[in-house]
Copies of this chain bind each other. A is one copy, B any other.
Amino acid sequence: MTLLEGRDLAAGIRAEAAELAAGGPPPVLAAVVATDDPATAWYLGSIAKAAASVGIAFREERLPDGDNDAVLARLDALSRDPAVDAIICMTPLPAGLSLAEAGEHIAPEKDVDGASPTSLGRLAAGRPAFAPATAQAVVELLHHSGTALSGARAVIVGRSTVVGKPLAMLLLRDDATVTVCHSRTRDLAGETSRADILVAAAGSAHLIGSGHVKPGAVVIDVGTNETASGEMVGDVDTAAVEAVASAVTPVPGGVGPVTTAVLLRNVVTAAASTP
């Protein structure tokens, strides 16, 4: 059993981004934040730190919680601002504002976390677009681990707009046969235990146990769930699955660091393609 750690891959992607960024003025990433959520603050801090290490200028655009129009107006303004190369919109958003609706106000060429429906549609249509960094990170980890995707049976648990659906599009592009399961799936273990590649992105702590995994499968855990004791655990019961799978990503230290690195590489790419 291989533990598919993300740190080395993430370091490689960050180095690639830093090299790309080195030639010109620092790429500028703006993050729109309308929440006091501590998990968001922690994530923002880690992005800011990683951005600095790669040579990206990070701007936090803080807005009052509860003011949806202010969020949309700020996204519009940043989309027009020639000094800004890349935009991310942090969640949770104020009540009544979905990330997809907010994403409509992010210019696709600056949409480095694939929040815009236009980005998602372009991805699905095989047109150039930024994928959500988490979905892209899953694919990068699979490529990095040497997992064959063409003709493989991939099962995704979770149909979210930020992970499940764009990941389905990415895996189809790589010629996998793709199944998307979710809370209404009747026989979840029956579906997942057919998977050569199993991606858990349901947001449900330890949903996936040994009975869900085909012997030899590659298991990617996108979940980040906080337990009552404050511990962060994935959607996969890694200890149980290790005996069955050929490879599993840990949580933390698997998909997470790769996601941040992919996001930064997207920022540098966005800056490089600005006229």
Interface residue ranges, A against B (CB under 8 Å)? 98, 100-101, 103-104, 116-127, 129, 150-151, 153, 159, 161, 165-166, 168-169, 172, 175-182, 184-186, 191
Contact = CB atoms under 8 A, between A and B. Distances in A.
A75 B161 CA distance: 29
Nearest to A188: B177
Given A126-B161, A161-B126, A169-B165, A178 B175 contact: no
Contacts of A118: 117-118, 121
Chain A interface main SS type: mixed
Copies of the polypeptide in the assembly: 2
Contacts of A129: 117
18 contacts: A100-B125, A100-B126, A101-B127, A117-B122, A117-B124, A117-B127, A118-B121, A119-B121, A121-B122, A124-B161, A125-B161, A151-B186, A153-B186, A165-B169, A165-B172, A176-B184, A177-B180, A177-B191
Contact of A177 (B125, B127, B169, B184): B184
A111 to B, nearest CB: 11
B168 A177 contact: no
A129 B101 CA distance: 13
A116 B108 CA distance: 14
A151 B52 CA distance: 46
Contact of A159 (B122, B127, B172, B181): B172
A100 to B, nearest CB: 4
